[in-house]
Chains A and B, each alone.
Chain A
């Protein structure tokens, strides 16, 4: 069974159609990259998986989005539980104006965890997972804003990991970071895929080539091609994919 699936998915902002008949099936513990020029619908598609598009008014979805075999848009689905299971990392690092500790603990607290010991353990584990522990262990009570951009982004990843999701959605997570931080985050993604299923939107094709197992190429709301990353980048089946990869258009 696939971990994540979209079946015949159309998506509309008002009357404007942003996604047309998207069919993608993603296996567990893989990294899938969504690539394509600006405005092609990849971020919109990503946000279907944790229902973040619900926050925008006047939208319409046709088709099915399945996680672990269940359609997450059926009536009665608990959206908060869904989001506990499907975490998100945003393009610009957005730690809360709170301490480093409280940032990572936030997800635990809002999901009802009150045991101090458990919270402390999970915070430490998550921060260690993102290879940030040594840098922050002595200043957990300091403001998260004192960290550099790259550190803040890793903190945001730790914040998402603390509530133990099974899927992580990343929307251009390194586009606001310097090259060194970027490569640290990419290494992290590679480590994380052993435990999580990751879908990452990226503008950076080299990044897609580096971190992902499968790649989906979007163009003007349509899924042009979806295949193993190696195939997409060395031997794509569709000419448009080939043109995009080689930089004929961007």
Chain B
């Protein structure tokens, strides 16, 4: 090639790259902008309503005034309940799948089933939960039924993220451990789990985020429109933030008047998820440092 042809080619390659990177940058900003717009919108509308009273008081006057305290408590109970069910089972299942099962047909089938489970629409989970937990097992509309249903929803997320976390652990550590006479389970407990723990916690965050905002699974398993008292046992019904938001926006006693409360509810829900994310990120960093030290 001649000198001028060379430089022309080089310059056009640079130009193409610059264009491509600019497009990527704009797209990234666009995504951040969307998130920013949603958050700003909700916060601007909700901040008129959200204050300490809002968070700590019961609803009054047909949900047009007062607070959303019972919905907050309900959501926290359901999230905790679903995690108590989904986290241990999910992590153990992932350990079994990744560390024990040999590659083959059985493993592929189980993996496919897990993926299918993740794709089931949440309302179908709700229906299933109602049939099994509420009716067949006679738990009734209850925190127990709701937690189990939400737990099922969260299970594939926990399993998948835990599996990825385990896969990311370099095999050389397992070999070193087994080479010293450790059993498989000792290797998992003392080497693999500590290393993958931060990423497993990330999976926990994702599940919490997923579960706090789910409306369909709690529709027929636990959620109540209005309860004068807080739940006192796992067999009680509960109010919940996403359901509360839905109800007062569509079929409450006075939709227009309740609208500010709806925005306040949305804002509180977002804040809870945000706090969960921050907390889990903090835990992740803490354990990430500890991993090198133990």
List residues of A whose CB falls within 8 A of some B CB: 50, 52, 55, 57, 80-84, 87-88, 90, 92, 94, 96-99, 102, 106-107, 109-111, 141, 143, 145, 156, 159-160, 163
Are B175 and A55 in contact, with the CB atoms below 8 A?
A: yes
Kindly specify which of B23-31, B190-198, B246-254 makes contact with the partner chain: B190-198
Kindly specify which of B8-16, B108-116, B178-186, B230-238 makes contact with the partner chain: B178-186
B6: shortest Cβ distance to chain A, in Å?
Answer: 39
Are B181 and A80 in contact, with the CB atoms below 8 A?
A: yes
Given the known interface contacts A97-B292, A99-B293, the answer about A90 and B176 at a Cβ–Cβ threshold of 8 Å is yes
Are A107 and B180 in contact, with the CB atoms below 8 A?
A: yes
Given the known interface contacts A57-B102, A81-B181, the answer about A52 and B294 at a Cβ–Cβ threshold of 8 Å is no
CB-CB < 8 A to A57: which residues of B?
102-103
CB-CB < 8 A to B180: which residues of A?
83-84, 87, 106-107, 110-111, 159-160, 163
- What are the nearest 4 A-B pairs in CB distance? A84-B181, A110-B182, A107-B180, A88-B179
A-B contact pairs, 25 of them (CB 8 A): A50-B179, A52-B179, A80-B181, A80-B182, A83-B180, A84-B180, A84-B181, A92-B172, A94-B172, A96-B177, A96-B191, A106-B180, A106-B190, A107-B180, A107-B181, A107-B182, A110-B181, A110-B182, A110-B183, A111-B181, A141-B293, A143-B292, A145-B292, A156-B176, A159-B176
> Interface residues of B toward A: which range?
20 to 34
CB-CB < 8 A to A82: which residues of B?
181
B173 at the interface (CB under 8 A from A): yes
List residues of B whose CB falls within 8 A of some A CB: 102-103, 170, 172-173, 175-183, 186, 190-191, 194-195, 291-294
B176: shortest Cβ distance to chain A, in Å?
Answer: 5
B68: shortest Cβ distance to chain A, in Å?
Answer: 44
A125: shortest Cβ distance to chain B, in Å?
Answer: 16
* Total contacts A-B at CB 8 Å: 78
Are B294 and A87 in contact, with the CB atoms below 8 A?
A: no
CB-CB < 8 A to B176: which residues of A?
88, 90, 94, 96, 156, 159
Which of B175, B181, B191 is A90 in contact with, Cβ under 8 Å? B175
Best-buried of A87, A109, A110 by chain B (most CB within 10 Å): A110
Residue of A nearest to B187 (CB): A110
CB-CB < 8 A to B190: which residues of A?
106, 109-110
A108: shortest Cβ distance to chain B, in Å?
Answer: 9
A141–B294 alpha-carbon span in the complex (Å): 9
A156–B176 alpha-carbon span in the complex (Å): 9
Q: State the main secondary structure of chain B at its contact with A.
A: helix
A92–B176 alpha-carbon span in the complex (Å): 11
CB-CB < 8 A to B170: which residues of A?
94
A223–B182 alpha-carbon span in the complex (Å): 32
Best-buried of B177, B178, B294 by chain A (most CB within 10 Å): B178
| Beyond A96-B191, A98-B292, 12 extra complex contacts between A and B, CB < 8 Å | A57-B103, A80-B182, A83-B178, A83-B179, A88-B175, A90-B172, A90-B176, A96-B173, A98-B294, A107-B181, A109-B190, A163-B181
CB-CB < 8 A to B181: which residues of A?
80-84, 107, 110-111, 163
Are B194 and A110 in contact, with the CB atoms below 8 A?
A: no
Best-buried of B170, B179, B183, B194 by chain A (most CB within 10 Å): B179
CB-CB < 8 A to A80: which residues of B?
181-183
A36–B179 alpha-carbon span in the complex (Å): 24
A159–B178 alpha-carbon span in the complex (Å): 13
A72: shortest Cβ distance to chain B, in Å?
Answer: 14
CB-CB < 8 A to B293: which residues of A?
98-99, 141, 143
A199: shortest Cβ distance to chain B, in Å?
Answer: 14
B103: shortest Cβ distance to chain A, in Å?
Answer: 7
Which of B102, B175, B183 is A52 in contact with, Cβ under 8 Å? B175
CB-CB < 8 A to A87: which residues of B?
179-180
CB-CB < 8 A to A106: which residues of B?
177, 180, 182, 190
A88–B182 alpha-carbon span in the complex (Å): 13
A172: shortest Cβ distance to chain B, in Å?
Answer: 13
CB-CB < 8 A to A90: which residues of B?
172, 175-176, 179
Are A94 and B183 in contact, with the CB atoms below 8 A?
A: no
A52–B176 alpha-carbon span in the complex (Å): 10
